[in-house]
Chain A
């Protein structure tokens, strides 16, 4: 009855094969990291390790990996290593290897052998097809070690033998860029290392479904770590460039922080700062919160507490999603066409506030609605059972319970709009300035409608993100301009990411308290 081949329940694992496979993967991880750093040209062919050129060194490692992987496959097939491979590596693997072979063969044929379009296409299709068929028909252990091993050996030999050197240059037809050896070598190294490691990881578990799992986990893990590493490296890079100029002239006692407390004065002897931009951003956020948040929360209350699912709610949902996904530059255009002519005719702080408020509204509406929905119905029932009216229940039971969630949404939304540049570009502008907008001091009453006037609201104000853009348009080649830009970018990052960190921390805190 049993279709399944009975395999051993307990597998004895410590073997030469396992040690060899871990060596391949370990070597691969090191080579991969160096290759990735090599792509950024932080290390180049001139870097040497133990007196050997870096790339030769890495190619040597790749050669070893290739030989190791091939021996793992052959060892498994000849029965030297105890493994349990499947009948075939599978169609996906075969197709990917086929594609890879197609690309490699095509490049070699067209670039090194100089064949014409028909020639390279024919050659590449042939090699790719043969690889696909070969891998598809081979047993899993051979099919998933031989191709990567051979490719690794090939790449390593090409680098060691000087076929591809840093001086190599390939100018693909129809592209205005050249793939230089200094980029091609680390990229090739990284790619072939990944594939070879995948084969090695499969061999480590003796192939089969567990081999595929280990190999996949390895690649997925490398991907996740690389993404985080790149993004964190980016933050650190900005910080390293920005902290210096941002803290120029900083002292604790007496407290002086010119970059944050000064304006942009165009005087060489004074440290230029971003105080007006910080104030501008604060006013923008305040204005947007006043216009956007109450409306959002009120709408969320109506949708969850009063409205019945129906056509109106459906329309509102579509509108909310539409508003939520509308590109910020379109909000900018809308502000330019609708608000500016009605609010003084020029770019102004109040237009910026309103446009950002419109943007904040759907963000907060969605999160507030979720927060109010998350309040358990028992609360409402308990309150209703005491004879408390619906509105009283909302005010005194539902809203306080949902408040943490609503606040979290507001904080995250504010983080998003505080970094927005595109809408401000169109409706507020406001370049490098020495003085901060004085909103509170500019209110005055007048006799004709609208009876209140505020010049500060009706003129442009600087803001951090726009200031960074202004630095770019003013040209970073000027002395200190780039440094000023980095410092502005750093301050902007700190401000925006603090909002995010605060919002996420509060969400985690309240979620944990809710679950406890």
Chain B
């Protein structure tokens, strides 16, 4: 066996530049092909398949000849695709919503009465909230519906979920914890359409009969069902947050003669606040975006309940509006449904960024000692 020289400048440089040139052209070719594929696909041309084949060929050769570099490039592409997909969703949902956004302007959030502050009309009135024949689309009833159902769901899921997480993380004996926690995680997987079916077939009738309601389906029931649906998720995430609080902190309080309840109330829970509030925001996000339960339970009327606080009335949520009307919608009507999607998308995005912010801030606040 011959010893390779550890550093032989001339041959090494020569080899390097050869390899570099090869990789450079491969990268350029691959990127070009991929870009062409994407552009052609967006332009809706079946020719997109030709550069795709080119890309696959380049990748295949790259994998064979320069695996490490190819792998790195591919993983980079995959990473970049997350941004691309979010961008595509944003662009396409917005573009489809644009005609109605332009047509309605601020009246998209209009009431049947003009909204005036000190005599200045901020939002002109709409003739009716949702009229597909006159192409008047105001999202106010749907926003109200989503708001009310989310409020009810959060009022159920947040306190009960946090309390149950406290029980699991701090009080329950290990054996109970180890059996119940996976159980709760499994329960978090019950598909929403199953809840919806239950709500539609059983609960709707039950409430109709026992609360002598005027109609089948109500925002109240939707909120209740969504709250129940979000509970296991909130419990599970809040439990994770609580168990991640270091034991040293609890020990410090207990060693001062505090009861465990005082410790979890004033030390553990505040210390886990970022995670717990993330759990609640996650639950709220779910509730805002929940579609199927609302769609099958509600009676779909695109007006505000009268009077406004009547949660036992039918209204519509942003999600159920889309799911119940897409089938017979076209033209402006379909564009109007996309505006509901825009509002949903923006709301949930803001919630998710807020959750992230809270988490980072709390981490920084707590970070010093840990």
Contact = CB atoms under 8 A, between A and B. Distances in A.
Interface of A: 41, 169, 174-180, 182-183, 209-210, 212-213, 216-217, 219-221, 223-224, 227-228, 230-232, 234-235, 237-238, 294-299, 301-303, 305-307, 315-316, 318-334, 336-338, 341-342, 358, 361-362, 365, 389-392, 394-395, 412, 415-416, 418-422, 425-426, 448-452, 465, 468-469, 471-472, 476, 482, 485-486, 489, 492-493, 496-497, 499-501, 504-505, 508
Interface in B307-356: 307, 309-313, 319, 322-323, 326, 337-338, 341, 344-345, 348-349, 351-353, 356
A299 B75 contact: yes
A322 B349 contact: yes
A490 B313 CA distance: 30
Given A301-B75, A323-B86, A489-B198, 6 more contacts: A177-B218, A219-B163, A305-B75, A329-B344, A341-B44, A342-B44
Contacts of A391: 67-68, 71-72
Secondary structure at the B interface, as helix, strand, loop or mixed, is helix
Given A330-B345, A500-B185, A224 B78 contact: no
Most chain B CB inside 10 Å of its own CB: which residue of A234, A322, A418: A322
B189 A176 contact: no
B122 interface: no
B259 interface: yes
A487 B183 CA distance: 23
A177 B171 contact: no
B79 A298 contact: yes
A235 B198 CA distance: 10
A497 B186 contact: yes
Nearest to A40: B206
What is the size category of the interface that chain B forms with chain A? 35 or more
A175 to B, nearest CB: 5
Contact of A333 (B183, B259, B285, B341): B341
Interface string B283-313: 0010011111001100000000001011111
Interface string B71-90: 11011111111110110110
B160 A223 contact: yes
Contacts of B337: 333
A146 B182 CA distance: 41
Contacts of B292: 421-422, 465, 469
Given A175-B310, A234-B198, A472-B197, A320 B75 contact: no
Contacts of A426: 322-323, 326
A468 B197 contact: yes
B141 interface: no
A177 B260 contact: no
B215 interface: yes
B75 A324 contact: no
Contacts of A501: 182, 186
Contact of A476 (B81, B167, B201): B201
Secondary structure at the A interface, as helix, strand, loop or mixed, is helix
A395 B80 CA distance: 21
Contacts of A297: 78
Most chain A CB inside 10 Å of its own CB: which residue of B88, B89, B352: B89
Nearest to A212: B261
Contact of A450 (B49, B68, B259, B289): B49
A174 B307 contact: yes
B41 A342 contact: yes
27 contacts: A175-B310, A178-B211, A213-B260, A221-B171, A227-B164, A230-B228, A298-B78, A303-B79, A316-B83, A322-B353, A326-B289, A329-B341, A330-B89, A365-B82, A392-B68, A419-B193, A422-B291, A422-B319, A425-B326, A426-B326, A472-B196, A485-B197, A486-B197, A492-B193, A493-B191, A496-B191, A500-B189
A331 B89 contact: yes
B191 A421 contact: yes
A88 to B, nearest CB: 16
Most chain A CB inside 10 Å of its own CB: which residue of B46, B78, B231: B78
A237 B195 CA distance: 12
A362 B82 contact: yes
Interface of B: 41-42, 44, 46-50, 67-68, 71-72, 74-83, 85-86, 88-89, 92-93, 95-96, 160, 163-164, 166-168, 171-172, 180, 182-194, 196-198, 200-202, 206-207, 210-215, 218, 220, 228, 231-232, 235, 258-262, 282, 285, 288-292, 295-296, 307, 309-313, 319, 322-323, 326, 337-338, 341, 344-345, 348-349, 351-353, 356
Contacts, number: 304
B82 A320 contact: yes
B183 A327 contact: no
B192 A337 contact: no
A230 B190 CA distance: 13
B186 A337 contact: no
Contact of A327 (B76, B85, B313, B348): B348
B183 A419 contact: no
Contacts of A492: 191, 193-194
A362 B93 CA distance: 19
B345 A319 contact: no
Nearest to B186: A500
A270 B295 CA distance: 31
Contacts of A316: 79-80, 82-83
Q: Which 5 A-B pairs have the closest CB atoms?
A: A327-B289, A419-B191, A298-B78, A391-B68, A302-B75
A326 B348 contact: yes
A190 to B, nearest CB: 14
B88 A220 contact: no
A486 to B, nearest CB: 8
A333 B338 contact: yes
Nearest to A301: B75
A227 B228 CA distance: 9
Contacts of B164: 220, 223-224, 227
A295 B81 contact: yes
Contacts of B261: 209, 212-213, 216-217
A476 B197 CA distance: 10
